[in-house]
Amino acid sequence: MEVRKELLPAEKRQAKPSDENALGFGQIFTDHMLKIDYHDGQGWHNPRIVPYGPLELDPAALVLHYGQEVFEGLKAYWGVDGDIHLFRPQANMERMLKSCARLCIPEFPRDFLLEAIMELVKIEQEWIPRSPGTSLYIRPTIIATEACLGVKVSSEYLLYVIVGPVGAYYAEGFSPTKIYVEEKYIRAAPGGLGEVKTSANYAASLLAAEKAHHAGYTQVLWLDACDKKTIEEVGTSNAFFCIGDELITAPLDGSILPGVTRDSVIQLARHWGITVNERRITIDEVIAAQANGTLKEAFATGTAAVISPVGTIAYQGAEHQVGDGQVGELSKKLYDEIVGIQLGQRPDPFGWVVRIS
């Protein structure tokens, strides 16, 4: 397959954002997008890079009614070598294939998709911002497009990739966040969709997130669906706790999204000789560690924010300060190391960076 290109003439392209400090997250998109179609019998076909614009969908398209959809999120950066860098993009392709399998979406050709994404990023390279903390966010998405109101697996899909410049994810920047432990609503249950990146998980999370925002908190800390004691994730990020000399995160037991940043943190921390355990950790253990002074740090991990330090945990009406309430030493070290690797400022011992030259 060859990617067909229908590119806008220079005079029809938008002006690039003038203030890289005011990019926000996910609000600005570039001039072009990648599209690939699927029909039963034909497979994936007609890959094309075309002007960015609205999709034409039948109002009965299955995705609009029953949520048969998967997506990914990764970033491109200007490396210090002048090349464009992607961070572990193969991991995103693998995860999207797993999401497809769970959502009954046909497998796409992973190497072809990654090559096509790299072509799109190269075409849009002038949109990659250069200020610290900024990047070009890449959002691959697959939606079920067959027009049918019966609940069924679609026979047609659209895979599309949009990209856009983003600034720092959290309005507060790299400073401690306040999180709210949610005890009524859950994000995902065993056997459900928690371990895949699909829209339904985010729909399920909105009400609790609204509640937390109105109460003055940045994110929700999700507990398990069964006994509402075991910690799962923070908002749309993986959760880590540093208690004594142990770094702890939830095991990938089905309801946890296997974050690429989570895996990178685990590998780096082990490389530095830190004891990392993927094990069940309850909110009671965290609160007890806080009370006896052994809870040193808590942070969330994800592509958007990389590391988001947690300064306060609100549970059952009480606020608990994590460590001294400031950005923890390990949080800072991990953030600096991962960003340094992404930009090519630090050695890349695991071969995580993929260059587009």
Tokens of 55: 């999709």
Nearest of 46, 37, 36, 95 to residue 70 by alpha carbon: 95
List binders of ligand PLP among 276-305 (CB under 6 A): 301-303
Q: Least Å distance between CB 238 and ligand PLP?
A: 5
Q: Does 353 bind ligand PLP (CB under 6 A)?
A: no
* Residue with smaller CB distance to ligand PLP, 97 or 123: 97
Residue range at the interface with ligand PLP (CB under 6 A); choices 7-15, 33-41, 236-244, 312-320: 236-244
Number of residues that make up the chain: 357
Q: Does 99 bind ligand PLP (CB under 6 A)?
A: no
Q: Least Å distance between CB 322 and ligand PLP?
A: 20
Residues in contact with ligand PLP, shown as a per-residue x/- string from 184 to 203 under the rule CB under 6 A:
-------------x------
Residue range at the interface with ligand PLP (CB under 6 A); choices 103-111, 230-238, 322-330, 349-357: 230-238
Residue range at the interface with ligand PLP (CB under 6 A); choices 10-18, 42-50, 102-110, 257-265: 257-265
Q: Does 262 bind ligand PLP (CB under 6 A)?
A: yes
Residue type, 201: N
Q: Does 257 bind ligand PLP (CB under 6 A)?
A: yes
Q: Does 232 bind ligand PLP (CB under 6 A)?
A: no
Rounded Cα distance between 118 and 86, Å, is 9
Rounded Cα distance between 185 and 22, Å, is 33
Q: Least Å distance between CB 56 and ligand PLP?
A: 28
Q: Does 89 bind ligand PLP (CB under 6 A)?
A: no
List binders of ligand PLP among 22-81 (CB under 6 A): 73
Q: Does 140 bind ligand PLP (CB under 6 A)?
A: no
Q: Does 260 bind ligand PLP (CB under 6 A)?
A: yes
* Residue with smaller CB distance to ligand PLP, 290 or 331: 331
Q: Does 309 bind ligand PLP (CB under 6 A)?
A: no
Kindly compute the dihedral angle of the four CA atoms of residues 101, 105, 109, 115, in this order, to the nearest 10 degrees.
-100
Rounded Cα distance between 133 and 152, Å, is 42
Number of C-beta neighbours around residue 242 at 10 A = 24
Q: Least Å distance between CB 55 and ligand PLP?
A: 22
| Residue in the structure block whose two tokens are 């039948």 | 58
Q: Does 261 bind ligand PLP (CB under 6 A)?
A: yes
Q: Does 259 bind ligand PLP (CB under 6 A)?
A: yes
Q: Least Å distance between CB 259 and ligand PLP?
A: 3
State the residues that interact with ligand PLP by CB under 6 A.
73, 197, 233, 236-238, 257, 259-262, 301-303
